[in-house]
Amino acid sequence: MKNILKIEDLHVSIDGKEILKGVNLEVGEGEIHAIMGPNGTGKSTLAYAIMGKPNYKITKGKILFKGEDITNLPPFKRARMGIFLGFQYPEEIDGVSLENFLRTSYNSLNGSDVSIIQFRKMLLEKMKILEMDIPFLTRYVNVNFSGGEKKRSEILQMAILKPSLSILDEPDSGLDIDALRIVADGIKKMREPDMSVIIITHYQRILHYIEPDFVHVIIDGKILLSGGKELAKELEEKGYDWIREANGRKENGRII
């Protein structure tokens, strides 16, 4: 299986502070990868670096997408190439309805001008899977949305835009068990067979619903351990300290 994403010795700094300290990662076409680790260890930084967020400075290494070096490309070009980022905390866009936002994004990405009627039909099919009501479309993007509604809105965007690589930053954050089930089910049902997915999560619970092909653990800005789905279960039982200990991640005699 060919790689769609290859990250080589990636170092990323924010405001002069190094967060990622040499990340290597390969994602094959159609694979699901889970990135796990304690809070503040670089998981979200990796997502933003792949997407090209401006203040995330790549000081060393490179990012290859579909064989092309995208390390210095702006975010909009990465999006047009087929990279999608679902945010942990999606921004509100007051005055712009969700339907208009999605239709504009779809037309811009595909260089088309699909009619409102055609687009509405496409939307309704996918909204049914996510258990979203029609009035949802007229609401302003993420304004007064609940946590579950924001996550479903992100997954709806993914389904409409059909990226080659979807990066989902903590899609389970702030969700109760019912909302988690709906979001996870939506990801599974609306993911294209050849779509690669990176799920960034602190906990294992979403992986009960979405089975990853590979699990990677980031600690102190590096991927210290990779494995199969069984690694996520081991982390749920044992936490992260054993990985720190095995890799000698200590400071002043304490495990960090």
CATH number of the domain at 242, please: 3.40.50.300
Distances (CA, A) of 152 to 9, 24, 127, 234: 34, 30, 9, 29
The pair of structure tokens assigned to 27 is 């994602």
pLDDT band at 192 (very low <50, low <70, confident <90, very high): confident
CA 249, distance to chain mean position in Å, is 27
**Band of pLDDT at residue 190, cut at 50, 70 and 90:** confident
Q: How confident is the model at residue 114 (pLDDT cuts 50, 70, 90)?
A: confident
Backbone dihedral region for residue 248 (phi beyond 0: left; psi -120 to 50: alpha; all else: beta)? left
What is the dihedral sign for C-alpha 18, 24, 28, 30? negative
Q: What is the chain's alpha carbon radius of gyration, rounded to the nearest angstrom?
A: 18
Look at 255 and 138; give whichever has higher pLDDT. Answer: 138
- φ and ψ at 103, to 5 degrees? -65, -40
Contact 149, 136 (CB under 8 A): yes
pLDDT band of residue 255 (cuts 50, 70, 90) is very low
Q: What is the pLDDT of residues 154-177, one digit of tens each?
A: 999 999 999 999 999 999 888 888
54-58, 185-189, 219-223, 250-254: least confident range: 250-254
CB under 8 A, 24+ apart: contacts of 229-234: 232/34, 232/36, 232/204, 232/207, 233/204
pTM (two decimals): 0.91
For residues 25 and 49, is the Cβ–Cβ distance under 8 A?
no
Domain span holding position 108: 3-255
Q: Please state the domain count of the chain.
A: 1
126 pLDDT higher than 60 = yes
Q: What pLDDT was estimated at residue 137? A: 93
Q: Measure CA of the first residue to CA of the last residue in the chain; give whole Å.
A: 36
Percent of the chain with pLDDT over 70: 96
Average pLDDT estimate for 132-148? 92
Is the confidence at residue 148, as pLDDT, over 70?
yes
Confidence of residue 191 (pLDDT cuts 50, 70, 90): confident
